[in-house]
Amino acid sequence: MRRTRLFRLGVPLAAGALALCACGSRDKGASASGTSATTTVTIGFDAPLSKDLAAVGLGMKNAAELAVNQANKNHTVPGVTFKLAAKDDQATPTIGQQNAAAFAADDDVVGVVGAYNSSVSAAMQSTLHQAGIVQISGANTNPALTRGADYKSAPKRQFDNYFRVITTDDVQAPVAAEYFYQDLGIKKVAAVDDKKVYGAGLVKEFTEAFTALGGKVVVHQSINPDESDYASVVGTVKSSGAQGVYYGGEYPQAGALKKQLVAAGFDGPLGGGDAVKDDAVIPLAGTKAADGIYTTSDGRPVEDLASAKSFISAYKAAGYDEPYGVFGAYTYDATNALIQAVKAAADTGAPAAKELRPKVVKAMGSVTFTGATGQVGFDEYGDSVNKVISINTVKNGAWQDGIKVFTK
């Protein structure tokens, strides 16, 4: 895009600090901080905003928008107005990569919040890294995104611009395995995944942990998430001798799978990760058939956290049509972390938004605050330092959240 003329902002900062400059729209009126001009910078947002996962993606977008609106209202970064530019990736890696390229080409973009799917973020990472744009997710859980394919034996930071405020599959899947084996008394499990990065990775982690405890994964099947008839998989599971099913994937397919398992006479529990924990899974499975779904989710239930009360209240007051869902509060914290990184980068003085990007990347690693979900901060790999996992279940057609909480 055309480069906007550079200019200086008269923002009062610490002694010796330079004033922030950025490209974007300029307001000739006085800002709340007493400056003669303000500048607008863009925060990119990427998630599935249409098709099967639209409900979760829209809740995440709303949460990011809420954080941006509050930052603007409170003048969190003096002299700067934030704008959210949301793009729909349709849960498709190739579209996510195209969105990343569009963000990289936009000189006003200082950072990107997203994606929802680990596979989509994997497709975006290289492009955003090359552009020096910080990427922060409130939903990605695949460990390889931060620590590489050998994340257990030889972890290595993959991209210094990538961060997340949610913990990873190698933390939550072993919790699920422990709960199935010890609390539910399940010794034989059928594993099913949706062939995606998130789902396959989750099943891999669950299988290793469950086997180490003494359990047995008697069969491993995969479904096509674009199909709705899982008769072949259901038949294999039922004849395998499995006492329960662990599913690596997302709530639309999990609901359909649970419905078809119950219809076939299989009455064992179905476990899953945080992407299964959605209100929509209950009607998809059917109110009665949904009973016996167990999921892990990051952190304690948001509604139980004192730190989340203001977020919940503000979200409701904003009148959004969609619920914030499992990842809304995390996306809210991710967006606020990015805003705090921009604030820290601005305090060092910087020119146009495009040239501000590397300073934001550097600042992000030191960001720490108490967010809606609890402590927000990052380790040397860009992973969240908050490693709390809750077990949730559907009983009598409704979610019961946080029936057991693990701190790792």
Whole-prediction pTM: 0.90
pLDDT band at 160 (very low <50, low <70, confident <90, very high): very high
Tokens 């009455």 belong to 267
Average pLDDT over residues 29-49: 71
Give the type of residue at 183.
D
DSSP string computed for 134-184? EEEESS---THHHH-TTTTTS-----TTEEESS--HHHHHHHHHHIIIIIS
Task: With a cut of 90, say whether residue 32 has pLDDT above it.
Answer: no
Classify the C-alpha dihedral 339-341-342-343 as positive or negative: positive
Q: pLDDT value at position 300?
A: 94
Classify the C-alpha dihedral 209-214-220-222 as positive or negative: negative
Q: pLDDT of 315-355, one tens digit each?
A: 999 999 999 999 999 999 999 999 999 999 987 665 568 88
How far is the C-alpha of 314 from the C-alpha of 66, rounded, in Å? Answer: 8
Contacts of 15 (CB under 8 A, 6+ apart): none
pLDDT band at 37 (very low <50, low <70, confident <90, very high): low
The DSSP H or E segment spanning 67 is: helix 54-74
Task: With a cut of 90, say whether residue 20 has pLDDT above it.
Answer: no
115 prior amide bond cis, ω within 30? yes
Q: What share of the chain has pLDDT > 90, as a percent?
A: 87
Give the type of residue at 292.
G
137 bridge partner residues: 164
Task: With a cut of 60, say whether residue 9 has pLDDT above it.
Answer: no
How far is the C-alpha of 44 from the C-alpha of 37, rounded, in Å? Answer: 23
Given a contact cutoff of 8 angstroms between Cβ atoms, the answer to whether 248 and 296 are in contact is: no
Tokens 């006003």 belong to 108
Q: pLDDT value at position 130?
A: 98
3-state secondary structure of 3: coil
Q: pLDDT value at position 50?
A: 98
Structural domains of the chain, ranges and CATH numbers in brackets: 26-167+304-377 (3.40.50.2300), 169-298+389-407 (3.40.50.2300)
How far is the C-alpha of 389 from the C-alpha of 81, rounded, in Å? Answer: 35
Vertex 134: Cα angle to 107 and 35 (nearest 5): 55
Average of per-residue pLDDT values in the chain: 91
